[in-house]
Chain A
């Protein structure tokens, strides 16, 4: 199983350029449709266009956290360093997507709700997600031993996973300003004009996230490799200089 996971990750790494290219195509099409081709909304007017970036960013940040959550469980079970690198990569990229989702949501809220921020359950649970990610990144940096740091961070990510269902169902559990779920067993409650750019942007963001995780994992792997090899060279040089 572990070999298979590693093989899958390496295969994905090999074809990461395709992910990047596909993400670029989807995002450009989505941006074109979102900014130019789609009509304004009857109630929101032009402001609906913010939804074409805000919603995909928010979806991708929950997807990124799901990857981090699953990867952390796998890491604690198998102690696979490649998966640990992937989790570390997912966390920083998830933090970026979450921050952008909060900022774009706030920009949309000002002209619509007449406030930049409100104590809405979904906003609060999303901000908690950002705080968990901040804690994860700090924990990895502050603990000197990277293996111990990775273990502690994985535990934090698993505990923080409780926030995911809260984000998802907050619109049903509490009274909230956010609209209820648009995709359910009752069908899709979004018109086609909005659905097409939204889907394109969402797919583009997911592909971009996959591409970014691959590149970031590669950076972490190369940095480790460089440090390890440099360390070995240094120890060899030190040995040859101190040897009688």
Chain B
């Protein structure tokens, strides 16, 4: 039994390591701030990601050449955006998207340099968790059942030599 639990502790450890690496990756590359949270924070030196919608009637500039200004709203909160980056078809009015850039709190302008799709990472995490937990639990339960059966067979002394009709053991 000890061997079984040691093996499974190693598998669990590796799975937890992978989960923590994925969580770090999510925090560094995918997680987004709301517009309201960004408005209350000081200027950031590192690029941040914000999620919201391009407000209707505010998009100006030359999106095809990667230069535009617009208002970006998230619920009741909104901010002014100066976009300068790659030409993207994503930037259009009423489009919900993720902007990557730096927040200038003094000028109250978000200087965006790139965009990203909404990641929907909750769905990814749900699919992986359900699959890994269900398969892992099933394999563990089966391995444990084999051990229990072997133990039961051993304890019942069913492997004892069988006696013949005259009572002599083989």
Contacts and interface: CB of A to CB of B under 8 A. Distances in A.
Contact of A226 (B120, B130, B152): B152
B6 to A, nearest CB: 14
B158 A233 contact: yes
B149 A46 contact: no
A222 B153 contact: yes
A110 B127 contact: no
Instruction: Give the 3 A-B CB pairs with smallest separation, nearest first.
Output: A45-B117, A222-B149, A229-B158
Given A104-B127, A230-B156, A223 B119 contact: no
Given A50-B127, A107-B126, A36 B21 contact: yes
A46 B131 contact: no
Contact of A24 (B11, B118, B121): B11
Given A46-B30, A222-B153, A100 B130 contact: yes
Interface string A38-61: 001000011101100110010000
Given A50-B123, A50-B128, A230-B158, 9 more contacts: A47-B123, A50-B127, A100-B135, A103-B127, A104-B130, A219-B149, A222-B146, A229-B156, A233-B156
Interface residues of B, number: 35
A212 B119 CA distance: 34
A46 B135 contact: no
A69 interface: no
A46 B22 CA distance: 12
Interface of A: 20, 24, 28, 31-32, 35-36, 40, 45-47, 49-50, 53-54, 57, 93, 96, 100, 103-104, 107-108, 110-111, 208, 211-212, 215-216, 218-219, 222-223, 225-226, 229-230, 233
A215 B146 contact: yes
Interface stretch (B35-43, B58-66, B68-76, B137-145): B137-145
B95 interface: no
A28 B18 contact: yes
A20 to B, nearest CB: 8
27 contacts: A24-B11, A31-B128, A32-B21, A35-B21, A45-B117, A45-B119, A47-B120, A47-B123, A57-B131, A93-B138, A96-B134, A96-B138, A100-B131, A100-B134, A103-B127, A103-B130, A107-B126, A107-B127, A107-B130, A111-B120, A215-B139, A216-B142, A219-B149, A225-B153, A226-B158, A229-B153, A229-B156
Nearest to A43: B117
Interface of B: 11, 14, 18, 21-22, 25, 30, 116-121, 123-124, 126-128, 130-132, 134-135, 138-139, 142-143, 145-146, 149-150, 152-153, 156, 158
A223 B149 contact: yes
Given A35-B18, A36-B21, A208-B139, A45 B146 contact: no
A54 B130 CA distance: 11
Given A35-B18, A108-B123, A111-B123, A219 B131 contact: no
Given A35-B22, A96-B135, A222-B146, A108 B152 contact: no
Contacts of A225: 153, 158
B123 A219 contact: no
A36 B27 CA distance: 12
A151 B45 CA distance: 71
A222 B121 CA distance: 43
